Structure 1
Amino acid sequence: MLLTGGDGYIGWPTAVRIASRTDEQVVLVDNFARRDWVETVGSTSATPVHPMAERLEAANEVHDGRSLSFVEGDLTDGEFVDRLIRIHEPETIVHTAAQPSAPYSQLSRDRANFTQHNNLQATRNLLWSLGEHGLKETHFIETTTTGVYGAPAFPIPEGGATMEHRGERDDVPFPAMAGSWYHLTKCHDAANMRLAHDQFDIPVSDVRTAITHGTETAETAADPRLGTRFDFDYYFGVVVHRFCAQAVAGYPITVYGRGEQRKPFIALEDAVEGLTRLALADPSERPADHTVYNQVARAISIVEIAETVADVANEFGLGVEVEHVENPRSEDETHAMEIENDRYEALIGGQSTSFEASVRSILETLLEHEDVIVAHEDRFLPDVLSEG
């Protein structure tokens, strides 16, 4: 099994969980680029991110993760990917590697071009290598994003849509309605995976992951060396994480605009569980087709998130206020998102982590690293990218 993005926020805890449940060799792949991207915007992970060698050693000691190994490499390099696929002939690929930030992709032409090249080239290289080596049984699982759906005024289906024209109806892929250069890469990935399934007969699971929140999973909590990263800045920190960091720093919780728009969310614990179950599914039971999963717990308004964080923060004696600021993004601030997730719910058997419990856990963790957050509190709001 290959897991790309093995150094990442979702990729690392997924790898540790998979390794704790199987004796199959799990090869992690990463080029550590996420660490550099965060550094270029003047920020850092609030929680320590240990070197990969220490992470693997801890996984072996704590979870008997001897099935984990690591290869450093760039997935945009076709020759590297071809060697990787040829040598390991994986039965499953869990593809979590990507430049994941919409704000980062919006910074400049160079960042937009980089994001599109990095994300699309990596996915195409993996798919083409599987096709060229005849690995038609390899289950290709990718975390795309619920952002491919945009903000339509109707309930979002789990994958496709039904189109009617001149009295005729047919099921079609959901149209690309992304709102950033990053999200558009996942629209293209979704289309490329569908094409690869048609041309190479590869089973594909397109896991459209919602905004993910949380600092740990059951496995990573067992040892400090196993911790995953936690970004809290404007560019790489998702809204829940940024709000929690603001509360810890005694900074006003900044809601962009009215904040009535609802966004889809899922706890890290549940996102990791979904990917793990797909990765370890018996070949006779896993999808043999092209299948889309909406990996989402529920939609929550930005204002509700801010108020929940403020309420929980008060339990810790953190007196914080919610403040509305001008929205730096172009979005409908009143969008009432509805999104279907029946297929994903059936996969994991229901969500295990409530939003309030996740916020409480995040705040507990961040209070241990208050000095790091306070030192970077100027990163909560947009600033000019450093190309250094």
Structure 2
Amino acid sequence: MAIIITGGDGYIGWPTGLRIASRTDERCILVDNFARREWVESIGSKSAAPVAAMDERLTAARNVHGLSNLSFVEGDLTDRGFVDQLLTVHEPRAIVHTAAQPSAPYSQLNGERANYTQHNNMQATRNLVWGLHEHDMADTHFVETTTTGVYGAPEFPIPEGGAVMEHEGHRDAVPFPAMAGSWYHLTKSHDAANLRLAHRQFGIPISDVRTAITYGTETEETRADERLRTRFDFDYYFGVVAHRFCAQAIAGYPLTVYGKGEQRKPFVSLEDAVEGLAQLVVSGQSAEHTVYNQVTRPISIVEMAETIADVGAEFGLDVDVTHVENPREEDEEHAMEIENDRYMDLIGEQRQTFESGMRDILETLTAHRDTIVAHEDRFLPDVLEE
């Protein structure tokens, strides 16, 4: 028996593989086709911190952490034949599915990227759950990182999974409606629906982990050696807003807050995200069908910018926070509330605060300032480029 971690070369998948392998003697198989490296290169950017080749990463994992149970298989999960072989050879008791094209802006570039994103993401998930069913592995615990983006930004507290619908005096629990705002986010809405269907039809135990905006550069395991670092993207397409703001600070540009900036977004640190995924498979938890809001707390855009400015001062950075006209149609004072009791029970307590996460990021980016400056056209908002 084994544990498979898809997207094992990625930002979340790689450190998750390290964490799981360090907590179990079971075989842990990372799976990836290295597409993320190609996507980022195609839009003219790169990881701020160099990403080691997979063989170097595995060697470091063995030498530094003694992880002889961690291995790698290269392959494309949209290929049914590859998925069938992967499942029959390794017979996983659990799959942590983090593989996806994860960028909303990339999926919005043009019709080709939208089609690619939807085919890549949904086909991979369908191949995996149908493969488990067709190979009589319906007891395998399937854990997928979907996204809190499926919820949109409603004016009521977001439940951890389902909601209650009332009509003409009748009430019932229903899946939360898909309110996604991009072709990427809609893939995760479809995945969430397909996972629910796979549980109902095939009996596969499902953990739908709806991941918030994830920040940070390090986890407990990756800090030990540079070869173990995960990738860190800071560009407009693959770098989340907190990472782009940190890049602006390093390059000497003000942090541009759209409008009032009081709209809150859900956040989770890389350390807290990895811990939750590891707990789900290592502790043996495999609920029937459970949704987790992988969030530690919502943070407003202006609070985020001001925190980065304060932490930046520790690194000798003079960071200004400026407010510019908001080009987006959104509520600039949205006080998002999102339930996360189930997820917090899983991890016990928050392991990294937003402030300490920004400190890690600025430390990493300071060491690679030349890379940031050389690619500043990839992360600066239009208002600063004019």
- 2:231 aligned with 1:232: no
Shift of 1:111: 1.1
Q: Is the 8 A contact 2:248 2:380 kept in 1?
A: no
**For 1:197-212, what aligned pairs fall within 5 Å after superposition?**
197-212=199-214
AA at the equivalent of 1:324: H
2:373 alignment counterpart: 374
TM-score by length of structure 1 reads: 0.96
| 1:114 equivalent in alignment to 2:113 | no
> Does 2:360 correspond to 1:361?
yes
CA distance in 2: counterparts of 1:332 and 1:379, whole angstroms: 26
After the TM superposition, which residues 134-283 of structure 1 pair with which residues of structure 2 at under 5 Å, given as runs?
Answer: 134-282=136-284
Secondary structure (helix, strand or coil) at the match of 1:91 reads strand
- Measure, in 2, the Cα distance between the counterparts of 1:199 and 1:214: 38
Alignment-derived partner of residue 15 in structure 2: 13
Distance 2:42 2:141 in 1: 35
Equivalent in the alignment of 2:37: 35
CA distance in 2, matches of 1:13, 1:302: 27
What residue number does 1:297 align with? 296
Q: Structure 1 residue 376: deviation in Å?
A: 0.6
CA distance in 2 between counterparts of 1:287 and 1:64 reads 28
Asked if structure 2 preserves the Cα contact closer than 8 Å seen for 1:235 and 1:382, the reply is: no
Q: CA RMSD in A?
A: 1.2
- Partner of 1:292: helix, strand, or coil? strand
Per the alignment, in what secondary structure is the counterpart of residue 337 of structure 1? coil
Q: Give 3-state SS (helix, strand or coil) of 2:101's partner.
A: coil
SS at 1:195 equivalent: helix
**Distance apart, 1:326 and its partner CA:** 4.5
Residue-pair matches, total: 380
For residue 227 of structure 1, what is the amino acid of its counterpart? Answer: R
**Residues 42, 326 of structure 1: alpha-carbon distance in 2 compared, 3 angstrom cutoff:** farther
Deviations 1:143-184 (A, max 9, x none): 011101000000000000001111111001000001111111
Alignment pair present for 1:70 and 2:72: yes
How far apart, CA to CA, are the structure 2 residues paired with 1:332 and 1:116? 28
Distance 2:203 2:177 in 1: 23
**Among residues 125, 131, 152, which one is paired with 2:127 in the alignment?**
125
CA distance in 1, matches of 2:323, 2:379: 14
8 Å Cα contact 2:271-2:352 kept in structure 1: yes
Q: Percent identity?
A: 74
Structure 1, 150-159 or 310-319: larger mean CA deviation: 310-319
AA of the residue aligned to 1:363: L
Residue 127 of structure 2 is aligned to residue 88 of structure 1: no
Q: For 2:20 and 2:310, how far apart are their aligned partners in 1?
A: 35
Per-residue deviation at 1:328?
4.9
Secondary structure at the counterpart of residue 303 of structure 1: helix
Shift of 1:382: 6.0
How far is the alpha carbon of 1:257 from its aligned partner? 3.4
Deviations 1:211-260 (A, max 9, x none): 00000101000000000000001111001111111111111212233322
Inter-partner Cα distance in structure 2 for 1:62 and 1:264: 34
SS in structure 1 of the partner of residue 92 of structure 2: coil
Amino acid at match of 2:170: E
Residues 159, 292 of structure 1: 8 Å contact kept: yes
* Residues 44-91 of structure 1, C-alpha deviations (whole Å, 9 max, x = no match): 100010000000000001111111111111111111111111111100
Q: Provide the C-alpha distance between the structure 2 equivalents of 1:167 and 1:81, rounded to a whole number of angstroms.
A: 47
Within 2, Cα distance between the matches of 1:234 and 1:210?
Answer: 18
**Structure 1 residues not aligned, in runs of 5+:** 384-388
Q: What is the rounded CA distance, in whole Å, between the counterparts of 1:274 and 1:327 in structure 2?
A: 35
CA shift in 2, pair 1:363/1:382, >3 Å:
closer
Alignment partners' CA distance in 1, 2:186 and 2:150: 7
* Residues 163 and 171 in structure 1, CA contact (< 8 A), matched pair in contact too: yes
Q: Distance in 2 between matches of 1:38 and 1:360?
A: 24
What is the SS of the residue equivalent to 1:255? Answer: strand
Could you tell me whether the CA contact under 8 Å between 1:30 and 1:71 is conserved in 2?
Answer: yes
Q: How far 1:330 sits from its partner (Å)?
A: 4.2
1:347-383 CA-partner distances (Å, limit 9, x unpaired): 1101111111111121111111111101111111368
Q: Which moved more, 1:208-217 or 1:315-324?
A: 315-324
Stretch deviating more after TM superposition (57-66 or 255-264):
255-264
Paired residue for 1:309? 308
Q: Deviations over 1:252-279 (max 9, x none)?
A: 2122333221000011111000000001
Aligned counterparts, 1:341-360, within 5 A: 341-360=340-359
The alpha carbon displacement at 1:311 in A equals 1.2
Distance 1:29 1:331 in 2: 38
TM-score, with structure 2 as normaliser: 0.96
CA contact (8 A) 1:246 1:252 kept: yes
Listed as ranges, the gaps of 5+ residues in structure 2 are none
SS at match of 2:95: strand
